[in-house]
Amino acid sequence: MAEVTRKHSGCQESSLDHGVFKVEGKEAGVTYSQQSNGCLMLEQEATDNTELLEKGIMEFGCLHYRRRCRIRAPCCGEVFDCHHCHNEAMNHINIEQKKRHDIPRHKVNKVICSLCDTEQEVRQVCINCGVCMGKYFCEICKLFDDDTSKRQYHCDGCGICRYF
C-alpha cells in the first residue's frame, strides 16, 4: 500500500472542531474524506496524481479567489469566476435596476473547469481532466480557493466560509 500524505487540506481550523467524517471515497485516483460540515480534506497517494492535482495551481481565478474553475450562476445562467464577480457585474450601475441581483451562492450547482472547460456538477476534482479545482473546497458554500494561506474554514454558526 502506498504512503498517504495530507497534501491538500480544506477547513484546517474547522477540522479541529468538527473531526467527524461522514463520507470516505476515491475519485480520480484521489482519496478524500468529507467532514460533517461539508468541507473536503483531500488526501492523496504519493504518486503521479500529485502533478495532475497541482496542474495550473495559482494560475487561474480572479481578484477574489485563485482557483481552477468558474461557476454558472443559477439565477441568470451566466458564467463568472466567482460569486463576488457575479454580484459586481450584475449590480453595476449600467445594469437596468430591475435586472440587478445577487447570486444565491448556496444554490450554485454547476462549475466549469478552467483547464479543460468541462461543465459539471459542483465537485472538487474535475471529472474530465482530474485536476483539483480548489485546494480549499466547501460543498455547502460552493467555495473553491487555491490560496490556503487565508486559513479558510466553514463556520456552522454563520453558515458561510470565513478566514483568519
Domains of the chain, by residue range, sit at 4-162
Classify 58 in phi/psi space as left (phi over 0), alpha (psi -120 to 50) or beta. left
> For 128-159, how does the pLDDT look when each residue is reduced to its tens digit (9 = 90+)?
999 999 999 999 999 999 998 889 899 999 88
Mean pLDDT taken over the chain: 77
Provide Rg for the chain, Cα atoms: 16
pLDDT tens across the length of the chain (164 residues): 333 233 333 333 333 333 322 233 444 455 555 555 555 555 544 455 777 788 878 888 898 999 999 999 999 999 999 999 999 999 998 999 999 999 988 899 999 999 999 999 999 999 999 999 999 999 999 999 999 888 989 999 988 898 87
Q: In the structure grid, which three cell numbers stand for residue 150, read together?
A: 487565508
Which of 21, 58, 26 shows the shortest CA–CA distance to 125? 26
Angle, alpha carbons 115-116-117 (nearest 5°) = 100
